[in-house]
Amino acid sequence: MHANASSRVCDHPGCREPGTYRAPQARQALDSFYWFCLEHVRAYNRSWNYCAGMNTEEIEANIRSDAVWRRPTWRFGTGGRRIWSEEELDDPLGILGRRKRPAHTGSSGNDGNAARRYWSPSSPEGKALATMGLEGTVTLQALKMRYKELAKKHHPDANGGCKLAEERLKSINEAYAVLRKTITA
């Protein structure tokens, strides 16, 4: 290989033209290149066959591997995966069937600090809960803890002045205000 594009010479034997076009050296070394002039890169590309020497099964396996960016995969519901606990799963829409909804809708203050309500996902409170990443029964203490956690995480100072983090923090503040009015000690 040559140091830079201005001093590269075509890698085709006997050619002295500038080598400005790269071409992979082999299927197994796609990060190593030949540098050719336009005429020789065209000739190289016409003769290049990525699948040369591969049988049908190897070609099929290569296509499947490329479909997932050459990352390991496994069939759903089989081994080779991490088992997630219900606490780790974030399933606000209940797609996995694990959403727990309180059986009642009134208020109950058995711990002196709880709001035992279920709000419709389309209500302002339901939208605020979703923004905060909370669902179902929420205590004032849990709301405050979640707010502090999200405020620290999305504060612009903690994110290099990122505008997206700033906008996210604004929506978190609005959601907190809505829930703070509803959930009382």
Same domain for 104 and 58: no
What is the percent of the chain where pLDDT is above 70? 72
End residue of a domain, out of 59, 81, 103: 81
* pLDDT per residue as tens digits for the range 14-55: 999 999 999 999 988 888 999 999 999 999 999 999 999 999
In whole numbers, what is the pLDDT of the chain averaged over residues? 79
DSSP state letter for 159: G
What distance in Å separates the CA atoms of residue 174 and residue 185, rounded to the nearest whole number?
A: 20
176 exposed, middle or buried (CB, 10 Å; 0-12, 13-18, 19+)? buried
End residue of a domain, out of 46, 81, 116: 81
What distance in Å separates the CA atoms of residue 34 and residue 119, rounded to the nearest whole number?
A: 64
What distance in Å separates the CA atoms of residue 92 and residue 132, rounded to the nearest whole number?
A: 11
Same domain for 185 and 100: yes
Q: How many CB atoms lie within 10 A of CB 8?
A: 19
Using alpha carbons only, what angle is made at residue 67 by residues 64 and 72, rounded to the nearest 5 degrees?
75
The full length of the chain comes to: 185
Q: What pLDDT, on the 0 to 100 scale, is given for residue 67?
A: 84
* pLDDT per residue as tens digits for the range 85-127: 666 666 677 776 654 444 333 344 444 444 445 677 788 888 8
What distance in Å separates the CA atoms of residue 29 and residue 10, rounded to the nearest whole number?
A: 19
Tell me which residue has tokens 């205000």. 177
What distance in Å separates the CA atoms of residue 64 and residue 135, rounded to the nearest whole number?
A: 39
Q: Which residue has the higher pLDDT, 5 or 36?
A: 36
Same domain for 126 and 105: yes
Which tokens go with 96?
Answer: 């996995």
What distance in Å separates the CA atoms of residue 65 and residue 72, rounded to the nearest whole number?
A: 8
pTM: predicted TM-score of the whole model, two decimal places: 0.39
Same domain for 107 and 30: no
Q: Which domain holds residue 22?
A: 1-81
Asked if residues 176 and 149 have their Cβ atoms less than 8 Å apart, the reply is no
CATH code of the domain containing 117: 1.10.287.110
Q: How many domains does the chain have?
A: 2
Same domain for 101 and 45: no
